[in-house]
Amino acid sequence: MKRLSDIGTIKDILSRHGFTFSKALGQNFLINPSVCPRMASCSGAGKGVGVIEVGPGIGVLTNELCQLADKVVAVELDKRLLPVLDETLAEYDNVKVVNADVLELDLNQLIKDEFDGLEVVVCANLPYYITSPVIMKLLEDRLPISAVTVMVQKEAAQRICAEVGSRMSGAVTVSVNYYAKPQMLFGVSAGSFMPAPKVDSAVIRLDILKEPPVQADEGLFFAVVRAAFSQRRKVISNSLSAGLGKSKEEILAVLEAANVPPTARAEKLSLENFAAIANAIGE
Residue 56 sits in the site that holds ligand SAM (CB under 6 A): yes
Nearest to 280 by CA among 214, 216, 236: 216
Distance separating alpha carbons of residues 220 and 274, to the nearest angstrom: 10
DSSP annotation of 69: S
Contact, 232 vs 216, CB < 8 A?
no
Provide the minimum distance between the beta carbon of 99 and ligand SAM in the complex, in angstroms, as a whole number. 9
Among 44, 50, 55, 243, binds ligand SAM (CB under 6 A): 55
The residue (of 25 and 214) whose beta carbon lies closer to ligand SAM is 25
Residue nearest ligand SAM by beta-carbon distance = 55
Q: Binders of ligand SAM: how many residues, by CB under 6 A? A: 23
Contact, 204 vs 187, CB < 8 A?
no
Label residues 80-93 b or e (16+ Cβ within 10 Å = b): ebeebbeebbeebe
Q: How far is CA 159 from the centre of its chain?
A: 12
Among 4, 45, 52, 60, binds ligand SAM (CB under 6 A): 60
DSSP annotation of 277: H
Residue 27 sits in the site that holds ligand SAM (CB under 6 A): yes
Provide the minimum distance between the beta carbon of 130 and ligand SAM in the complex, in angstroms, as a whole number. 6
Nearest to 179 by CA among 226, 153, 151, 143: 143
Q: Which residues pair with 193 in a beta bridge?
A: 30
Residue 102 sits in the site that holds ligand SAM (CB under 6 A): yes
CA distances from 135 to 106, 123, 234 (A): 15, 11, 27
Print the binding letters for residues 127-156 with ligand SAM: x by CB under 6 A, - otherwise. Answer: x--x--------------------------
Among 19, 26, 97, 206, binds ligand SAM (CB under 6 A): 26
Q: How far is CA 112 from the centre of its chain?
A: 21
Provide the minimum distance between the beta carbon of 87 and ligand SAM in the complex, in angstroms, as a whole number. 15
The residue (of 64 and 119) whose beta carbon lies closer to ligand SAM is 64
Give the residues lining the site for ligand SAM (CB under 6 A).
Answer: 25-30, 54-57, 60-61, 75-78, 81, 101-103, 125, 127, 130
